[in-house]
Structure 1
Amino acid sequence: MAVVICPGIHDPKLTESFVSQLFGDWRSRCQSGNLLIFPTQDYPAYSGIDIFNYLCSVTQVPSFSPPSSGSFGQHHVKLPIVFICFSAGVVGAIAAAWMWEQAGGQVKALIALDGWGVPLAGNFPIYRISHDHFTYWSSALLGGGTESFYADPPVEHLDLWSSPQTAYGWWLHRTSTGVETASPATAKTVLSDWLTRHHE
């Protein structure tokens, strides 16, 4: 299984801060292949086909081919993936997730941070994290996801990505008995819980 990080359009150092907060020694995880960071310095953050082809290249799976030369399903992708995406990267990640499934792969979950205005749907659990209540509320109109979190008090958009441990707010989820609750948490706590839930 691999965690795929799909950043937005910003300084790569913000992504380094994010992954170090979440994974600690993230460079060794990248070397082992279970943490993949989409290189937005080389490709558009919002390009689903570029994310998909990047995943195919690093996992040694044949990349996308036009319908006339075969279907996605013929690639027989095996690697299960959790996507963590931010801002413009949410656009590319949701498209890549659909393509990965069509290619026979498994998407274990997609976690969208500040994917404002991006409709989210799929045959996999989807989680939303927002930097304020308005972004949470308005994004939920386009697919709220399995669970959500929003910062309260609000934090800056880029701070949510670079410093999830400092974003305090409300984790909206269901208990084991099905009761909907809002629990105080940080964005990092919520992210860690969701990753653990999906065996990462």
Structure 2
Amino acid sequence: MVVLICPGMHEPQLTDRFLQALRQESIDLGTPLIFPTQTYPAFSAWHIIQFLRQELMQRSDNSLLFISFSAGVVGAIGAAWAWQQSGGKILALIALDGWGVPLFGNFPIHRLSHDEFTHWSSALLGSGEDSFYADPGVEHLDLWRSPDLVRGWAIQKTVSGIERRSRSTAAAFLALLLNRYWEYRTSSRHQLNKA
């Protein structure tokens, strides 16, 4: 599994702080690819695909997990669709504050929002699966800069469609998701090796 980070339009130091916060929570991303938004538009799916083709040329594993923020969510969802159509596997797309971005696909999608209004209004354009919103609300950039400090509600959907809410931080919710997909990837590879 390759983790692709698709930042928004902000200083690269915020992404560095985001990754540092995840490491402090013992979240292992391996060696993630970080789409260079200082060089290319954050919202450009075409540029993300070109970046992926260049970076993954020598790798046999083309399964991706996207973690995207703000304008990067626009590019990430388009790139995920295109990557899947070209034969690649999308394990999941995690969108932090992708307000106003329609999020639909035949792969798992998760939303994290900086406040309840953003969570509620974004769900009108595709709620995805398990999600999180900050409560009390925080500034937009704080969700990316300091997910370890953002407290709120993790919402898990049961098989019967009922939502279960529990208090969490954004970083702990991300850890839950990443562990889920890491285990899925590991068990799938194990099953292939046994066949």
Please say if 1:43 is aligned against 2:26.
Answer: no
Q: Summarize deviations over 1:98-139 as a string: whole Å, max 9, x none.
A: 011011000000000000000000110000000001100000
AA matched with 1:54: F
Counterpart residue type for residue 181 of structure 2: H
Alignment partners' CA distance in 2, 1:178 and 1:146 = 10
Amino acid across the alignment from 2:112: I
Distance 2:115 2:126 in 1: 17
Judge conservation of contact 1:78–1:104 (CA < 8 Å) in 2: no
Is residue 103 of structure 1 aligned with residue 100 of structure 2?
A: no
Tell me, in whole angstroms, the C-alpha distance in 2 between the residues paired with 1:8 and 1:141: 22
Q: Secondary structure at the match of 1:142?
A: coil
Answer whether contact 2:73 2:95 (CA < 8 A) is retained.
yes
- Uncovered stretches (5+) of structure 2, i.e. residues with no partner: 184-195
Shift of 1:177: 7.2
User: Which residue of the other structure, out of 128, 132, 141, is the alignment partner of 2:124?
Assistant: 141
* Between 85-94 and 177-186, the greater mean CA deviation after superposition: 177-186
Moved over 3 A (4+): 23-26, 175-179
CA shift at 1:179, angstroms? 3.9
2:20 maps to 1:20: yes
Distance in 1 (alpha carbons) for counterparts of 2:13 and 2:19 = 10
Alignment partner, residue 83 of structure 1: 66
Q: Helix, strand or coil for the counterpart of 2:133?
A: strand
Determine if contact 2:7/2:70 at 8 Å carries over to the other structure: yes
1:59-113 deviation per Cα after TM superposition (whole angstroms, max 9, x unaligned)? 117xxxxxxxxxxxxxxx8510000000000000000000110110000000000
Structure 2 distance, partners of 1:120, 1:40, is 21
User: Is contact 1:78-1:106 (8 Å) kept?
Assistant: no
**TM-score, length of structure 1 as denominator length:** 0.85
What is the TM-score when the length of structure 2 is the normalising length?
0.87
Unmatched segments (≥5 aa) in structure 1: 62-76
Q: Which residue of 1 aligns with 2:189?
A: none
The CA distance in 2 between the partners of 1:178 and 1:133, in whole Å, is: 20
What per-residue deviation string (whole Å, max 9, x for no partner) do you get for residues 134-158 of structure 1?
A: 1000000000011111000001100
CA deviation after TM superposition for structure 1 residue 194, in Å: 0.3
**Counterpart-to-counterpart distance in 2, 1:167 and 1:117:** 21
Whether contact under 8 Å (1:172, 1:180) holds in the other structure is yes
**Cα–Cα, structure 1 residues 78 and 99, in superposed 2: closer, same or farther, change >3 Å?**
farther
